[in-house]
Amino acid sequence: MQQIRLPWSCYAVFGAIVGAWIPVLTPNIALCTLSMFTVFLFKQNFKSTNSVSFLVGMLIIASNNYHQTQKIENFYHNYAQQKITISGEIIDIDSLVLNPNKRAIKLLVHQIAHITQSSPTPKIITLWASNTNQLQLHDLVLLTNLETPGLITPALITSSLRAESIQLKLTKNSTYKILARPNYIKFNPLKISVLSLIQQKIYTIKHQLLSKLKLKLTPTSFSLLATIFLGHKKAGGSQNTQLIRDKFQVWGLAHFLARAGLHMIMIALLIKLLLLALQVPIRFSSPVIILLIMVYHQLSWPSVSFLRALYMVISYETCKLLNLQIDGLHLLNLILIGALLSNPVQIFFLDFQLSFTLTYALVLAFRQNQYRSIAPNTIPSV
C-alpha cells in the first residue's frame, strides 16, 4: 500500500489559497469556511505541524488581503473630490504605445499634505501624465492638485489591488516640481540613495538598448525580439504586434509570443551548459548563473510566470551552492506563499492561476515517486 507524503509547505499553501478567498466572502460564509476546515483538520488527525501550517497560512493571507483592501477603499472614500498634494520618488515610468507623450508614472509616496495620522497612507501611487518628458526615474518630485477617480467601482478597487498602488488623475491645475535628481557627480546621500542611483542607470541602459535594437532591426524582427526575449509586448507598436499575432494564430502558435517561465529556464540552462563545458566548479557556476539571470531580469519587462521561474532558478542554485537538499515541490510552495504575501489578490487572475497550476502539474508528474512511502506489509495470519 502506498501513502502520499507531502511537505508541510503544501498545507501552508492550501491554507494560503483558502485565506485569499475568505475576505471576498461575507462574514458568515467566511466564518463557516474557517470552521469547516478547522474541523476537517482535527477529524483527519493530521500532524500538528501540518495543521498549524494550514491555519497560519490561512490566517496570515486572509488578514493581509483584508488589510490591503480596506486601506485602498478607505483612501478613495476619504479623499474623494479633494485636491491632493504628494511628494515622493518616481520608481517606474512607462510610455504608452498609442500616445508616446502620455506616460504611466509610479510614485513611492514620502508624504501627503494635510493627512491625519488616522487616515491610510498608500505606499505607491500611479498616475497618467502628459508633457512630462523632463521626469526621470528616481526623481524626487512634488505633485499638486491631484484627484481620485470620480467613480469608485469594484473594478477600480481590484485594479488598484493588482497593481498594488492607488490610481490618481491630474487636473488642469496640477503641477509638478523636481526636488532632487540622482547625479553621479553631485551625489547627495541624504536625498538620493545609492540603490536609486544604480536603478536609474539600469533603467537608462534598458531603454537605450531598446532604442538601438529598434534602429538596427526591421519592425517585424524588433517586435518578435522585444515580445519574446524582452517581454515588452507593445514595443513594436500595436498594429505591427497585432499583425504578427494574427500570422502566428493561423498556425496555432500564438502562445509562443507570450514569454513564459520556460524562456527563463532555457536561458539558465544554456548558461549552465556553457559553464559545464568550461568546467567551472559549482561554487563559482551557481553565483554566475544567479548574477546573469538577475541582469537579464533587470534589462527586461517581467511577467508572473517569468518571476516564478526566476525565483525557482535562484532558489535551486542557492540550495546547490549551500549544499542543501533540493525539493522542487517545497521550493514552489514557498514561492507561491511569498507571492500571495506580497499581493493576495493575484490568485483571482487567470495568468497567475495558469502559471502556477501548470508548474505544479509538471513538478508532480516528473517527481511523482518522491513523496510516496511504502507502508509496512502486514503478514496475514494463517
Tens-digit pLDDT profile for residues 51-95: 777 778 877 888 888 888 888 888 888 777 778 888 888 877 775
- The answer to whether residue 284 scores a pLDDT higher than 50 is yes
Contact between residue 280 and residue 288 where contact means Cβ atoms under 8 Å apart: yes
Q: Are residues 38 and 119 in the same domain?
A: no
Rounded mean pLDDT, 42-49:
59
Tell me which of 17 and 253 has the higher pLDDT. 17
Do the domain assignments include residue 208? no
Q: Place 44 in a pLDDT band, splitting at 50, 70 and 90.
A: low
Out of 180, 208, 237, a domain closes at: 180
Q: Which of 127, 155, 180 is the last residue of a domain?
A: 180
Does 127 lie in the same domain as 45? Answer: no
Give the residue-averaged pLDDT of 20-42. Answer: 62
Same domain? 147 vs 166: yes
Kindly state whether residue 225 falls inside one of the protein's structural domains.
no
Residue indicated by cell numbers 501550517: 53
Grade residue 310 by pLDDT with cuts at 50, 70 and 90. very high
87 in the same domain as 70:
no
- Per-residue pLDDT, 128: 76
Q: Total structural domains in the chain?
A: 2
In a domain, 195, yes or no: no
Q: Given pLDDT bands bounded at 50, 70 and 90, which one contains residue 259?
A: confident
Whether residue 109 is found in the same domain as residue 172: yes
Q: What percent of the chain has pLDDT over 70?
A: 75
Q: What was the pLDDT predicted at 170? A: 76
Amino acid identity for residue 188 in this structure: N
Quick one: pLDDT at residue 124? 84
71, 84: one domain: no
Separation of alpha carbons 195 and 182, rounded Å: 10
What's the confidence (pLDDT) of residue 382?
41
Kindly list the distances between the CA atom of residue 381 and the CA atoms of 93, 374, 376, 378, in Å, as whole numbers in the listed order.
76, 21, 15, 9
Same structural domain for residues 96 and 50?
no
Considering only residues 151 and 279, tell me which one the structure prediction assigns the higher pLDDT. 279
Judge whether 381 lies within some domain.
Answer: no
Looking at the fold, whether 84 and 176 belong to one and the same domain comes out as yes
In a domain, 97, yes or no: yes
Query: How sure is the predictor about 350, in pLDDT bands with cuts at 50, 70 and 90?
Result: confident
pLDDT beyond 90 at 291: yes
| Domain extent for 151 | 80-180
| Residue 99 placed within a domain | yes
Could you tell me the CATH number of the domain that includes residue 156? 2.40.50.120
Higher pLDDT, 253 or 123: 123
Flag whether 376 is in a domain: no
Verify that 85 and 176 share a domain, yes or no.
yes
pLDDT for residue 365 is more than 50: yes
Task: With a cut of 70, say whether residue 349 has pLDDT above it.
Answer: yes
**Out of 129-138, 186-195, 306-315, which region has the weakest mean confidence (pLDDT)?**
186-195
Residue 118 pLDDT exceeds 70: no
More confident residue, 31 or 369: 31
Residue 171 lies in a domain: yes
Q: Mean pLDDT in the chain?
A: 76
**pLDDT tops 50 at residue 379:** no
Indicate whether 67 and 126 sit together in one domain: no
Stretch among 18-32, 214-228, 234-248 having the lowest mean pLDDT: 18-32
Select the more confidently predicted residue: 296 or 185. 296
Q: Which of 140, 161, 180 is the last residue of a domain?
A: 180
Confidence of residue 239 (pLDDT cuts 50, 70, 90): low
Q: What is the pLDDT of residues 180-236, one digit of tens each?
A: 776 655 545 555 566 666 777 777 788 788 888 888 888 878 887 888 888 777 666
pLDDT for 32 equals 64
Say if residue 106 is in the same domain as residue 170. Answer: yes
Instruction: Give CA–CA dist 65/298, Å, rounded.
Output: 28
* Confidence band, pLDDT 50/70/90 cuts, at residue 375: very low
Shared-domain flag, residues 106 and 155:
yes
